[in-house]
Structure formats: structure tokens, C-alpha cells
């Protein structure tokens, strides 16, 4: 036997481990379910935590504990691949011991493995961390783990998304607010976060007491709601907020912009009467359809998550909330699945899962129906009967975390953003110095029209300039040579490689403006 606790694997050991796995597959050991005595503290901990869910298996001289079922024989693995060896804290907690993790995938057929590896290679090429660095969109620094730094070009994408949302907020009756970054712990005690979420919060000593950076906006929006009295005539009241949030995620779980400590959500809370819930939820779903289906042309499905064990409040209210959400989902005719016990501690939720160009699913948007927080804050309205009634609160985020959404669309588009979202929409290229004056005139006209344009008039070869622009994934490369100067026209090359000669400058500007205004995806 080998004491793996004292073995330090390196990436060079992958081939050796793979050969041993091949040996197990060829010998086709029977995998038997039985009783295995826990041999170390981790197995003991698993058995205590999962009890009947963990089963004992053995094959050859190996014993292991696993949840669920496994193959009947080791020969059932027809193809596998080992990709990496890395460190991992036990249960993802940095206060626990560091373990060694070997990442691999197994399949029933060689073709399945081949397709998987091809998709994996494509995913690595599209990794937002790689593209973000290449296009100078954002960066990361160990001085602030889990907090992306948006560079000027990445900030353009960020702000364009905010503009999209703000246009819709105006049309859909939202009022935007700006709320503080931290609050006294008494707020979080009232909301229940102190009791249910404190381990995920950054707690700070301030004024001889404890404050916390806010992990979410809902309690502060309840403060806004309670700052004035409300009648049934004021509802629905829709509040939107882009303020930064901080969550104390475990260091080992951080990854690029998909798992962060500092983020901003397109957060919104809607205060309604019970009889308005169904209509308002349908309005939120319509908002989601507009953004995902109409604007980005992304398919999505829905997931209804119900009451967790740590739920706050009366079960009757939970049942009522879940019943309303089910009715709305069934009426929407959008495919959805049920996740038992996965709701937030204050209410059930609908999560929106979008599919990217590689067929991967990402959870971004969410809608949550909440009877509990308003009750804890005594948030009420005066009804038509002159009596006070508890208000109902709808939590909703359309893009979700902007950091996560930008990561997802960066990989979805492989950095080739649609025209309206691109940091650089047009790249002007001169053939020689003789065209610089006309190129600057074109630049000024594009810039004045609101087009994001750059001019490359460096003393470099034309092929190099074109290649550099291609690597930057700009939407249009405009080449200006002697003919263009003589005729006062442009040679315009689209990202797809199609070239148009003799393009009038004013016509080019107008076409760009129209595409940007419509937020078309094919430009």
C-alpha cells in the first residue's frame, strides 16, 4: 500500500498514473458494493456528513467511498483522459488541509472522448481570462484576489451594458438609486443575513462596533421603502441599483470573473401587493426575454428552486410563493426544471440558465419572490380599505453579476463582440505617410459621430497593420491608400473578410450609426 498523504504528485506523473489506470481497465476488476471501514479522517467525515448517501465500493486491493452508484467493472471505462494535477483545500476551505487533485474525464467511447477534448481546446481558446488579457479588457492582481480590474476597453463593454439596462429601466418604470457600501450589523441582523450569511461577509470594526460590506442590496432598498409611507396607489414600486457588492468567497474557489469577491449586479427590487405579483413577475420575464432572446439571441431555460432547510419564516408563506412561481412558469411555456431545497433562505427563486456558443449552460439572471424580508422590516402599505398590509418584495437581476455576464459573453463571442458592444469598432490603416492627413479627417468625422475608432499611422507594413487589427478583433478595418485619398472614399473590410471599395465616408458613418442604434449582432 502507498501512503498518498506523503506523496507529492507533479504534472509529469500524469502519464504514469494513466498507465496504471489502463492496467485497471484491462484487468476488468469487478466493482463490488459492500462495507468498507473508514481508514482516515476524511472518510470518517464523509460518512458522518452524508450517512446513507455514501456507499462503500472495492475493486482489486482498493477501497473507496462514493455517493450514488458506479460501474459494475473497471473495464466499463472505454476511454479516459487526465488533464491536470493541482492543489485543493478539503471542502474548498482555506482553513483546512491542502489536498492533491487529479482532474480527468472518462467516457464509454473513444469518439465521446475525442469530441470532449476538441470542445475543451475550443473552450481554452475562448477563456475570458486569456481574451481579456489579449484585448486589454481587464486584469487581475494578487493584491486584491477576486476583484477584477476593468481597463479602459473593458470599461466600455461594462458601460454599454449599463446603457442597455438604463434605457429599459426608463421604459419599464424603474427608478435608479445609489446606496452605501457598508452598514451597521444591526441592519444585517434585522434582514437575517447576520444569522444565515455572516461567514460570506466582510466584517469591519467601525465606531467601536461591527459593520459589514454589503453582499446584496435588498436590505438597503427596504430602508428606502420604509423611509416614506406608501399607499396601494404607489405600487408597484421598482428600484434599481448598480452598487458594488462584496462577498467573502473562499480563496480557492475564485476564478477569473465567474467567481469573484467584488462585483456589481444589475440589481432590482419591486414592491407589490399580493394581487400584483403574477403580472409583475410576467413583466420581469418579458424583460429577460428582451435581453437574452431579442438583444443577444441567446437561448435559455428556467429553474425553480424551492424552500431550503435553512429557510426563514412560515412554511405556509413559502408554499404560497412556490405555488405562484409554478403557475407563472407553466403559463410562460418556457422549459423549466425543479430544484428541491435550492432556494434562497428568504424565498423561492427562478434562475435563468443561458446557453453559449459551445452549448455550455450559465446561470446569470434570477427572480426571487420574498414574503420574509418585508415582514422582518415591517414594510407595509395602506390598502384601499384604509388598513395596513404587508408588502411583497420581488428580487430580480437580469444580467446578474456584470463581471460574470461579461466573462460569459466574452467566451460566447470569442472576443468578437457585436458592433454596439465593441471597444474598438473601426480601425483606420494608412498605407504610407502620404495618407495620414486624410485618415485624420476620416478619424475626426467618425469620432464626432460617436464611433469608437483608432488610427494606425505607424511606419509599418500594410500586412502587419492588418494582422494586428485582426488580432484585436475590431469590427471594421478601413484601409486608406492613394486611390482612397484621390477619390475621398474608403476601402472597408468587415470582420468576416469581405472588402468593399469606394465606400463614401458619410454613408459609412450613417450605416455604422444605424447598426449601433439597433444593436445588431451581425456587424
Q: What is the pLDDT along the chain (523 residues), one digit of tens a residue?
A: 445 556 778 777 888 888 888 888 888 877 777 765 666 677 777 666 666 566 666 666 666 666 666 777 778 888 888 888 877 777 766 677 778 888 888 888 888 888 888 888 888 888 999 999 999 999 998 899 899 999 999 999 999 999 999 999 999 999 999 999 999 999 999 998 998 888 899 999 999 999 999 999 999 999 999 999 999 999 999 999 999 999 988 877 778 888 889 999 999 999 999 889 989 999 999 999 999 999 999 988 889 888 888 777 778 878 888 888 888 888 887 878 888 887 777 778 888 888 888 888 888 898 988 888 999 999 999 999 999 999 999 999 999 999 999 999 999 999 999 999 999 999 999 999 999 999 999 999 999 999 999 999 999 999 999 999 999 999 999 999 999 999 999 999 999 889 999 999 999 999 999 999 999 887 5
**Reduced 3-state DSSP string for 410-422:** HHHCCCCCCHHHC
Say whether 353 is catalytic.
Answer: no
Annotated catalytic residue: which of 218, 266, 351, 473? 218
Annotated catalytic residue: which of 128, 214, 247, 412? 247
Cell 465606400, located at residue: 503
- Contact between residue 412 and residue 383 where contact means Cβ atoms under 8 Å apart: no
Beta bridge partners of residue 453, listed in sequence order? 426
Give me 208's grid cell.
467601536
Could you tell me where the DSSP H helices lie in 290-360? 315-332
- Contact between residue 348 and residue 369 where contact means Cβ atoms under 8 Å apart: yes
Distance separating the N- and C-terminal Cα atoms of the chain: 62
For residue 30, the model assigns a pLDDT of 79
Annotated catalytic residue: which of 265, 368, 372, 435? 265
The region that residue 74 occupies, defined by phi over 0 for left and psi between -120 and 50 for alpha, beta otherwise, is alpha
Say whether 11 is catalytic.
Answer: no
pTM to 2 decimals? 0.84
For residue 37, the model assigns a pLDDT of 64
Beta bridge partners of residue 98, listed in sequence order? 89
b/e code 7-33 from CB counts within 10 Å (16+ = b): eeeeeeebeeeeeeeeebbeeebebee
Beta bridge partners of residue 93, listed in sequence order? none
Give me 414's grid cell.
470569442
The residues near 451 (Cβ < 8 Å, ≥ 6 apart) are 425, 426, 509, 512, 513, 516
Annotated catalytic residue: which of 185, 214, 238, 267? 267
Say whether 395 is catalytic.
Answer: yes
Give me 18's grid cell.
494513466
**Rounded distance between C-alpha atoms, residue 346 and residue 269, angstroms:** 14
**Rounded distance between C-alpha atoms, residue 283 and residue 80, angstroms:** 47
Say whether 265 is catalytic.
Answer: yes
- Contact between residue 270 and residue 393 where contact means Cβ atoms under 8 Å apart: yes
For 347-366, give the DSSP string.
B-EEEEEEE-TTS-EEEEEE
Among the listed residues 114, 119, 122, 102, the one whose alpha carbon sits nearest the alpha carbon of residue 78? 114
For residue 61, the model assigns a pLDDT of 66
**Rounded distance between C-alpha atoms, residue 377 and residue 15, angstroms:** 59
Cell 412558469, located at residue: 329
Annotated catalytic residue: which of 128, 193, 269, 353? 269
Rg of the chain taking only CA atoms, in angstroms:
28
Say whether 493 is catalytic.
Answer: no
Annotated catalytic residue: which of 246, 395, 412, 465? 395
Helices (H) and strands (E) in the chain, counts: 16, 26
- Contact between residue 332 and residue 287 where contact means Cβ atoms under 8 Å apart: no
**Rounded distance between C-alpha atoms, residue 492 and residue 282, angstroms:** 44
Sheet of 426-430, strands arranged across: 453-456, 426-430, 476-480, 489-494, 499-504
Annotated catalytic residue: which of 246, 349, 375, 404? 349
**Rounded distance between C-alpha atoms, residue 179 and residue 373, angstroms:** 18
For residue 338, the model assigns a pLDDT of 83
Amino acid at each position: 500500500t502507498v501512503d498518498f498523504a506523503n506523496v507529492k504528485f507533479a504534472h509529469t506523473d500524469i502519464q504514469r498514473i494513466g498507465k496504471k489506470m489502463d492496467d485497471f481497465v484491462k484487468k476488468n476488476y469487478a466493482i463490488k458494493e459492500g462495507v468498507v471501514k473508514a481508514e482516515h479522517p476524511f472518510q470518517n467525515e464523509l460518512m458522518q456528513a452524508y450517512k446513507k448517501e455514501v456507499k462503500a465500493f472495492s475493486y482489486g486491493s482498493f477501497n473507496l467511498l462514493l455517493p450514488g452508484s458506479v460501474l459494475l467493472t473497471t473495464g466499463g471505462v472505454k476511454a479516459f483522459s487526465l488533464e491536470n494535477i493541482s492543489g485543493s483545500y478539503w471542502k474548498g476551505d482555506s482553513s483546512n488541509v491542502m489536498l492533491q487533485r487529479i482532474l480527468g474525464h472518462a467516457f464509454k467511447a473513444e469518439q465521446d472522448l475525442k469530441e470532449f477534448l476538441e470542445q475543451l481546446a475550443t473552450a481554452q481558446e475562448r477563456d475570458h481570462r486569456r481574451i481579456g488579457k489579449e484585448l486589454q479588457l481587464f486584469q487581475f492582481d494578487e493584491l486584491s484576489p477576486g476583484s477584477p480590474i476593468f481597463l479602459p476597453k473593458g470599461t466600455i463593454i461594462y458601460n454599454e451594458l449599463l446603457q442597455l439596462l438604463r434605457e429599459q429601466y426608463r421604459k419599464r418604470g424603474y427608478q435608479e438609486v445609489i446606496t452605501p457600501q457598508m452598514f451597521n450589523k444591526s441592519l444585517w441582523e434585522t434582514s437575517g443575513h447576520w444569522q444565515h450569511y455572516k461567514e460570506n461577509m466582510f466584517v469591519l470594526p467601525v465606531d467601536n462596533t461591527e459593520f459589514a460590506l454589503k453582499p446584496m442590496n435588498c436590505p438597503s432598498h427596504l430602508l428606502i421603502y420604509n423611509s416614506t409611507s406608501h399607499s396601494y396607489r404607489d405600487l408597484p414600486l421598482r428600484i434599481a441599483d448598480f452598487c458594488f457588492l462584496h462577498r467573502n468567497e473562499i480563496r480557492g474557489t475564485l476564478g477569473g470573473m465567474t467567481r469573484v469577491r467584488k462585483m456589481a449586479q444589475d440589481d432590482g427590487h419591486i414592491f407589490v401587493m399580493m394581487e400584483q405579483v403574477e403580472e409583475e413577475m410576467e413583466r420581469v420575464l418579458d424583460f429577460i426575454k428582451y435581453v437574452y432572446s431579442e438583444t443577444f439571441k441567446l437561448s435559455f431555460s428556467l429553474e425553480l428552486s424551492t424552500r431550503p432547510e435553512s429557510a426563514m419564516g412560515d412554511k405556509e408563506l413559502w408554499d404560497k410563493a412556490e405555488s405562484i412561481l409554478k403557475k407563472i412558469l407553466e403559463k410562460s411555456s418556457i422549459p423549466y426544471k425543479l430544484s428541491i431545497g435550492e432556494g434562497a433562505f428568504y424565498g423561492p427563486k427562478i434562475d435563468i440558465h443561458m446557453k453559449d456558443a459551445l452549448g455550455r449552460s450559465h446561470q446569470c439572471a434570477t427572480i426571487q419572490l420574498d414574503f420574509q424580508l418585508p415582514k422582518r422590516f415591517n414594510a407595509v402599505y395602506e390598502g384601499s380599505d384604509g388598513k395596513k398590509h404587508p408588502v411583497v418584495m420581488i428580487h430580480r437581476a437580469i444580467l446578474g453579476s456584470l463581471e460574470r455576464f461579461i466573462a460569459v459573453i466574452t467566451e460566447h463571442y470569442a472576443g468578437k463582440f457585436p458592433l454596439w458592444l465593441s471597444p474598438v469598432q473601426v480601425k483606420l490603416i494608412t498605407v504610407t505617410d502620404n495618407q495620414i492627413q486624410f485618415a485624420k479627417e476620416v478619424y475626426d468625422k467618425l469620432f464626432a459621430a460617436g464611433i469608437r475608432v483608432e488610427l494606425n499611422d505607424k511606419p509599418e507594413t500594410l500586412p502587419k497593420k492588418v494582422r494586428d487589427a485582426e488580432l484585436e478583433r475590431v469590427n471594421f478595418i478601413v484601409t486608406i491608400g492613394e486611390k482612397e485619398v484621390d477619390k475621398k472614399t474608403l476601402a472597408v473590410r468587415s470582420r468576416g473578410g469581405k472588402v468593399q471599395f469606394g465606400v463614401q465616408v458619410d454613408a459609412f458613418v450613417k450605416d455604422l450609426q444605424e447598426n449601433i442604434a439597433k444593436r445588431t449582432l451581425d456587424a
